[in-house]
A and B are shown apart, each in its own frame.
Chain A
Amino acid sequence: DAKTTQPNSMESNEEEPVHLPCNHSTISGTDYIHWYRQLPSQGPEYVIHGLTSNVNNRMASLAIAEDRKSSTLILHRATLRDAAVYYCIRVWGGQNFVFGPGTRLSVLP
């Protein structure tokens, strides 16, 4: 199965770090891990992606396990605007891309 596994929902307090987990146990060597988020009534927004090494950008960090069977999206300091559904996606064959139901993140003030 090409889909990934994520918790249905998570909560975080504002200004605290958030670690969003994802399992992708069937991943193969050339598959990328992408993270997107979707705010209410908007299209998905690219967050970050990686292959083997940990990645950082202005939005988040991505930590990929050494065996690549899991990864964690890290929001260093959650804000109310980070409340969204976060999708972890495995991209295989260069273009195959399947969304699961994602993790709904709630940020509490």
Chain B
Amino acid sequence: NAGVTQTPKFRVLKTGQSMTLLCAQDMNHEYMYWYRQDPGMGLRLIHYSVGEGTTAKGEVPDGYNVSRLKKQNFLLGLESAAPSQTSVYFCASSRQPSYGYTFGSGTRLTVV
């Protein structure tokens, strides 16, 4: 049982480059989330989805786009990477938010 899988685990981008982070879950969860975590801080919500085909903005959505074309996948895109987007990105999923979330192991992104 894989749970929540994030790819890639590490990436270095140059300023202005684009990339897509993939999150896949095999638990048939409706809810999926993207967070970023900066050193010494808690997690901040970027975007989330309450079901296939839906997305919504979180606390820090600027500079990111997301898509949920399939229930099991939630993609996070950076169209033009900036050094301020250097962070660790975590994906999470939930059957029902009040029941708890399952997190992936993270993607460490560096923008130079």
A: which residues have CB within 8 A of B?
32, 34, 36, 41-46, 49, 87, 91, 94-95, 97-102
Contact = CB atoms under 8 A, between A and B. Distances in A.
B42 A87 contact: yes
Contacts of A36: 101
Contacts of A98: 42, 45, 59
A99 B103 contact: no
Contacts, number: 50
A6 to B, nearest CB: 10
Interface stretch (B61-69, B75-83, B92-100): B92-100
Contact of A97 (B4, B45, B50): B45
A98 B101 CA distance: 13
B34 interface: no
Given A95-B31, A98-B59, A34 B100 contact: yes
